[in-house]
Amino acid sequence: MPKLLLATFNQGKIREYRLLLDSLAYRLTTLTEERIQEVVTESGDTYEQNARLKALAYARLTGLTTLADDSGLEVDALDGAPGVRSARFAGETAADSDRVDLLLARLNGVPWEKRTARFKCVIAIATPQGRAATCYGECQGIIAFQSLGEGGFGYDPVFFVPDKGMTMAELPMEIKNRISHRARASQQLSRLLQRLQM
């Protein structure tokens, strides 16, 4: 079974992708398992640019077909911020809780109906030969007034999913992995991989 490299050091993403990609005819491996320590800087202005940049760089480096994603949270009341800077919103070394605290502080006084937001995810798959393709997923929600739930990671505790009546961090994993931005992008992956292998 061929290997597919997950180009991330984020343990939350790795856990989700291991579940989401369980049915692919690939053996998933990680940067840590492949003893790769290089960090590819996300210097792009869009999710797609960053995802392609990482996928192509690590595919060249390892000789493996590589999956990389870039994802973010866009809040309407903050003109789309934190967006492509979601992971660095509170600084390079900030924890998830620091980013959530800063987001809630920025939204202090903003009423419920104006706290609309969306998670976006672009997945790029690249081959060592330099071929790359992308797919996209999105999930709509509202930023809650406080953190709720123990599951997930990142902004999940404050991302309220209206039709489920709870935050992403409160959802059972099997439901999150059907409706999340990452799940929706992942549903297109087998077609993408087939296209790249042609």
Q: What is the pLDDT of residues 125-169, one digit of tens each?
A: 999 999 999 999 999 999 999 999 998 899 999 999 999 999 999
Distances in whole angstroms, Cα of residue 49 to Cα of each of 25, 36, 41, 44: 27, 22, 11, 5
pLDDT tens by residue, 92-137: 889 999 999 999 999 999 999 999 999 999 999 999 999 999 999 9
- 163 as an active site residue: the answer is no
Total number of domains constituting the chain: 1
Q: Which structural domain, as residue segments, surrounds residue 179?
A: 3-197
- CATH number of the domain to which 106 belongs: 3.90.950.10
Q: Which one is catalytic: 70, 96, 156, 163?
A: 70
Angle at 42 between CA 40 and CA 43, to 5 degrees: 115
| Block residue for tokens 């967006």 | 83
pLDDT tens by residue, 47-93: 999 999 999 999 999 999 999 999 999 999 999 999 999 999 999 88
Instruction: Copy the structure tokens of residue 80.
Output: 């789309």
